[in-house]
Structure 1
Amino acid sequence: MVSGTVAVDTAHALRLESVRKVYGSGSNAVTALDGVTAGLRRGAFTAVMGPSGSGKSTFLHCAAGLDRPTSGRVLLGDTDLTGLSENALTELRRQRIGFVFQAYNLIPSLTVRQNITLPLRFAGARVDEDWLREIVARVGIAALLDRRPAELSGGQQQRVAIARALVTRPEVLLADEPTGALDTRTGRQVLDLLRGLVDTVGQTVLMVTHDPVAASFAHSVLFLADGRFAGELREPTPDQVVRRLTGLGEW
Structure 2
Amino acid sequence: MPTRERTGKPTRSKGDSDGNSHGDNPALLMREVYRKYSSGADETTALADISVTLARGSFTAVMGPSGSGKSTFLHCAAGLDRPTSGNVRLGDTDLDRLSQNRLTRLRRERVGFVFQEYNLLSALTVQDNITMPLRLSGRPVDREWAELVTRRVGIDQWLRRRPTQLSGGQQQRVAIARALIARPDAVFADEPTGALDSHTGGQVLALLREVVTDLGQTVLMVTHDSAAAAHADEVLFLTDGKLADRLAAPTAEAVAERMSRLGRA
| 1:7, distance to aligned residue in structure 2 (A) | 11
Between 125-134 and 185-194, report the one with greater CA deviation: 125-134
- Of residues 15, 29, 34, the one that matches 1:15 is 29
Aligned to 1:52: 66
* Aligned equivalents of 2:53, 2:19: Cα separation in 1: 17
Superposition pairs for residues 155-170 of structure 1, below 5 Å?
155-170=169-184
Contact 1:6 1:80 in 2 (8 A): no
Root-mean-square deviation (CA, aligned residues, Å) is 1.8
> Once superposed, which parts of structure 1, at least 4 consecutive aligned residues long, lie more than 4 Å away?
4-9
Aligned to 2:4: none
- Of residues 18, 39, 46, the one that matches 1:32 is 46
| 1:125, distance to aligned residue in structure 2 (A) | 1.3
- Of residues 180, 190, 194, the one that matches 2:194 is 180
- Of residues 73, 76, 82, the one that matches 2:96 is 82
* Aligned equivalents of 1:191, 1:8: Cα separation in 2: 27
* Aligned equivalents of 1:141, 1:158: Cα separation in 2: 10
Could you tell me which runs of 5 or more consecutive residues in structure 2 were left unpaired when the two chains were aligned.
1-17
Can you list the C-alpha shifts for 1:106-153, whole angstroms capped at 9, x where unaligned? 111111101111111111111111111100000000100011111101
- Of residues 126, 129, 154, the one that matches 1:140 is 154
Q: Structure 1 pair 147/9, CA: closer, same or farther in 2 (3 Å)? A: closer
Aligned to 2:117: 103
Aligned to 1:154: 168
| 1:231, distance to aligned residue in structure 2 (A) | 1.7
Query: TM-score, normalized by length of structure 1?
Result: 0.95
User: Structure 1 residue 237 and structure 2 residue 262: aligned?
Assistant: no
Secondary structure at the residue paired with 2:170?
A: helix
Number of corresponding residues: 248
- Of residues 211, 230, 237, the one that matches 1:197 is 211
Secondary structure at the residue paired with 2:102?
A: helix
* Aligned equivalents of 2:22, 2:176: Cα separation in 1: 28
Secondary structure at the residue paired with 2:245?
A: strand
Secondary structure at the residue paired with 1:46?
A: strand
| 1:8, distance to aligned residue in structure 2 (A) | 8.3
* Aligned equivalents of 2:244, 2:22: Cα separation in 1: 26
Query: TM-score, normalized by length of structure 2?
Result: 0.90
| 1:6, distance to aligned residue in structure 2 (A) | 10
Aligned to 1:119: 133
* Aligned equivalents of 1:154, 1:39: Cα separation in 2: 32
Q: Structure 1 pair 5/65, CA: closer, same or farther in 2 (3 Å)? A: farther
Secondary structure at the residue paired with 1:125?
A: coil
Could you tell me which runs of 5 or more consecutive residues in structure 1 were left unpaired when the two chains were aligned.
none
Secondary structure at the residue paired with 1:249?
A: helix
* Aligned equivalents of 1:100, 1:29: Cα separation in 2: 30
Secondary structure at the residue paired with 1:115?
A: helix
Q: Structure 1 pair 9/59, CA: closer, same or farther in 2 (3 Å)? A: farther
Q: Percent identity?
A: 59
Can you list the C-alpha shifts for 1:67-93, whole angstroms capped at 9, x where unaligned? 111110101111111121101100111
Contact 2:115 2:189 in 1 (8 A): yes
Can you list the C-alpha shifts for 1:135-177, whole angstroms capped at 9, x where unaligned? 0000000100011111101000000011011111101000000
Q: Structure 1 pair 8/189, CA: closer, same or farther in 2 (3 Å)? A: closer
